[in-house]
Amino acid sequence: MVCQKVVVNEVSGWLRVFDDGSVDRTWTGPPQVEFMTEPVPPHDEFIDGVATRDVFVNKNLRLRIYLPETNPEDESKLPIILHLHGGGFCISQADWYMYYHMYTRLARSAKAICVSVYLRLAPEHRLPAPVNDGFSALLWLRSLAQGESYEPWLINHGDFNRVFLIGDSSGGNLVHEVAARAGKADLSPLRLAGGIPIHPGFVRAVRSRSELEQPESPMLTIDMVDKFLSLALPVGSTKDHPITCPMGYGAPDLDSLKLPPFLLCIAERDMIIDTEMEYYEAMKKAKKEVELLISPGMSHSFYLNKIAVDMDPQTAAQTEGLISGITEFVNKH
């Protein structure tokens, strides 16, 4: 007799957890959007001005590198943008098409090397596992800068004095955490020049007004927030955990953290805009250097929705504005 596995938790379309602890992340939502979750194979040749490769640092650390095409006569080094992907700490991969289409564009626009981390996922690897992965990636970049490791694209083209952290949604939470951890470490000769949390998943145990009143979006619903975090947070924790609520009572005082300049990117119609703004106000109160980039009329992670970017002129324009704002921030620092 074959025992049938029973689903004990499910996030519609994205993830199913079974009673034996196994997890199925096969996309079961609308088939017309499945392509956004398909992996894009690496390609050493330049396609639309960008080449990509995957690097295995160790058994826990794998990275995707985006190298923009440059003029061979231009010997100037390129800034390095370390990307921490979103997905509520539970889903998505660095090679998904939704990230590929965004970060090839950013690499071209900012003339920067993007390095995206394949983060370990919950519930198999609960927080702080992805924080550790992001910081390990930063330490690997330091080892390249010190000459202790070798990766030709980064060694030949990367400027280790201009390293930035960037993260989408839950990856924005990781930007804060990794930057805070970096502030306690000696990264020389590498310099962490800035952090760019995009629509970070900052929440608290008590629902904000925007969670109750803003419309849900394809990229974020109340159900997704609640279920993903129940699977990702350390057992027994609430959303007031420092990783999900860094501006809250349970987190280290922001005054005590050594942080680089931040560009906080938010969307006007994001369901969690209230708590993102609470973070911004707390950072300003702590006298941290933080700029705000608001995308009017947009919802959570709008720029990753390739269908909307292609079909809706407003989404296309706001995506271009977001990329331009990030490029300006990188060029300034």
- Active site members: 169, 270, 300
Q: Where are the alpha helices (DSSP H) in the chain?
A: 97-110, 129-145, 152-157, 170-182, 209-213, 222-232, 273-285, 306-311, 313-332
Determine the 3-state secondary structure of 322 from DSSP. helix
Starting at the edge strand found earlier in the chain, the sheet holding 50-58 runs: 43-47, 50-58, 61-68, 113-117, 78-84, 158-168, 192-198, 262-267, 290-295
Determine the 3-state secondary structure of 229 from DSSP. helix
Give the C-alpha separation, 204 to 246, whole Å: 9
The half-sphere exposure of 172 on its side-chain side, counting CA atoms within 13 A, is 25
Give the C-alpha separation, 101 to 183, whole Å: 31
- Beta strand pairing status for 61-68 and 50-58? antiparallel
- Beta strand pairing status for 7-11 and 15-18? antiparallel
Q: With contact defined as beta carbons under 8 Å apart, do 233 and 166 qualify?
A: no
Who's near 111: CB < 8 A, 6+ residues apart?
A: 68, 70, 78, 79
Burial level of 41, CB count in 10 A (0-12/13-18/19+)?
Answer: exposed
Torsion of CA 63, 139, 199, 318, to 10 degrees: -60
- Beta strand pairing status for 15-18 and 23-24? antiparallel
Per-residue CA distances from 264 to 25, 203, 296 (Å): 30, 15, 14
Give the C-alpha separation, 15 to 127, whole Å: 18
Q: Which residue has the tokens 């010997």?
A: 75
